[in-house]
Amino acid sequence: MRQQSHYHSHNYRGGAMAAALVLLLPFLLPNLFTPFSHALPSILSEWNAPKPRHSSLLKSALQRQISDERQADLWMPLNNEQWKPCFRFQSTSPLPEKSQGYIQVFLDGGLNQQRMGICDAVAVAKILNATLIIPHLEVNPVWKDSSTFMEIFDVDHFINVLKDDISIVKELPDEYFWSTREYYATAIRATRVKTAPVHASANWYSENVLPIIQSYGIAAIAPFSHRLAFDNMPEEIQRLRCKVNFQALAFVPHVRALGDALVSRLRYPRLTSEVDSTNYLGEVSDSKDKQGTGKFVVLHLRFDKDMAAHSACDFGGGKAENLALAKYRQVIWQGRVLNSQFTDEELRSQGRCPLTPEEIGLLLAALGFDNSTRLYLASHKVYGGEARISTLRSLFPLMEDKKSLASSEERAQIKGKASLLAAVDYYVSMHSDIFVSASPGNMHNAVVGHRTYGNKKTIRPSMALLGQLFLNKSLTWPEFQEAVVEGHKSRQGQLRFRKSRQSIYTYPAPDCMCNA
């Protein structure tokens, strides 16, 4: 059955044609439009600031009073559940004297998807007793970042940590100079493995990839993301994946240095009205800082255009925004991601709509974060810009991000590089007292797993619950707050064991952790 949009198809086509015609008119008749061409963006722009969608809740949230008891509960560290990181990683089998050959992987996606692919690549190299060539990171069509492995991760640390597990080389040996991404893009090649199934077993690699390595000395696997199973793996392979993710993958020094600087500035903010300008470290009085000196929350606000378009939800930006997102779906995914067959209300009640900045702000306020909370915004470009964030900022005026905390000189090495920007956010997220992710995704999965490994508090929004609450326009603030608090009691970082087919990188227990 042909999938239908929840937009009215006739209206949508007519609206699209009309909008396209209006957009073309300035180019077809430039002299006619020159006197007022500056006004067109304000008329047709998808960036027009949407009005708050939950104005009644927002008004109450701005006047909220949080009890000291609620504050104390909110910032209370996780109870130690007797599960701690394992230090048994050195028990993997020794490195054989002779390698079978070389293995290459080409990793697509953003930073965190590539991170998981790197871990799997090491595991596959171990399974095949192959020498791993430092993975090639593809340029993602959305993030458009050409940063290499060595520009993001500390490659010497990576090789050193894994030196007793697998053999790793930084570059192709001279005899395989031809085995490049461009070489595989032009034709079918005998050394390229293009058919690796999703969640392939260890035996699949032994039966299908090892013979290629033995015949040609090298095998290149592309695509590779999610191409190794999480279940029925030898214990040493699981432990090795843990070792890569939690020990071997460290960011380059300048990313760690910038991350440390941001964490320090969040924990000890500059208080110009109370602290002498020559003194960097400022103390905060108890009366002005209920949660205690130095605590801060990282909010991963995944509300970029890519996410908004993929969801096919309505975010209150009107016809121009809906048209822009529909066009984006067509251009980026060329029809592979369709307009949803469900209504916006159905999508929201199912928890399938990303939380807007306004909605995540209301969630945080209902949980008990007050307007003195220091909030670090970990995000790529927010769809709608500052106008979309304004309600969140009104609820949390002490909200910071990379741009507000770091100087232009400090940001110079990461400017315009999505992967390095994400790496800084990842690093700060790992050092926060509490981490909250507005919507599931690769960043969410990676950070949640890493923080579970380190026994750190993470709040996971209940998307379905919140979707239903926000649809109820008659809900009062006390009712909303009670439902939010009750619905998130078991979603604050309590240990969850990995189930079948779930990722070891998101759920590190019990594979990567020991019961102390």
Chain segment 425-456, per-residue pLDDT in tens: 999 999 999 999 988 889 999 999 999 999 99
- Predicted model pTM: 0.85
The closest alpha carbon to 321, from 312, 330, 333, belongs to 312
Class of residue 229 by CB neighbours under 10 A (exposed 0-12, middle 13-18, buried 19+)? middle
b/e string for 327-336 if b means 16 or more Cβ within 10 A?
A: ebbeeeeeee
* Model confidence band, residue 88 (pLDDT cutoffs 50, 70, 90): low
Q: Which helix (H) or strand (E) holds 501?
A: none
Mean pLDDT of 349-378: 95
pLDDT in tens, 458-497: 999 999 999 999 999 999 999 999 999 999 999 998 899 9
**Would you list the DSSP string of 223-285?**
S-TT-S-SSS--HHHHHHHHHIIIII--B-HHHHHHHHHHHHHHHS---TTTS-TT-------
> Which residues make up the CATH 3.40.50 domain(s) of the chain?
90-248
> What are the start-end ranges of the E strands in 42-197?
83-85, 102-107, 131-133, 136-137, 168-169, 192-193
The pLDDT of residue 90 is 55
pLDDT band at 87 (very low <50, low <70, confident <90, very high): low
pLDDT digits (tens, 9 = 90+) for 297-352: 999 988 888 889 988 899 988 889 989 998 998 888 887 777 778 888 999 999 99
Using omega within 30 degrees of 0 as the cis cutoff, is the peptide bond preceding 30 cis?
no
CATH of domain 90-248: 3.40.50
Tokens 């067109």 belong to 40
DSSP tag of 153: B
Distance CA 228, CA 197 (A): 8
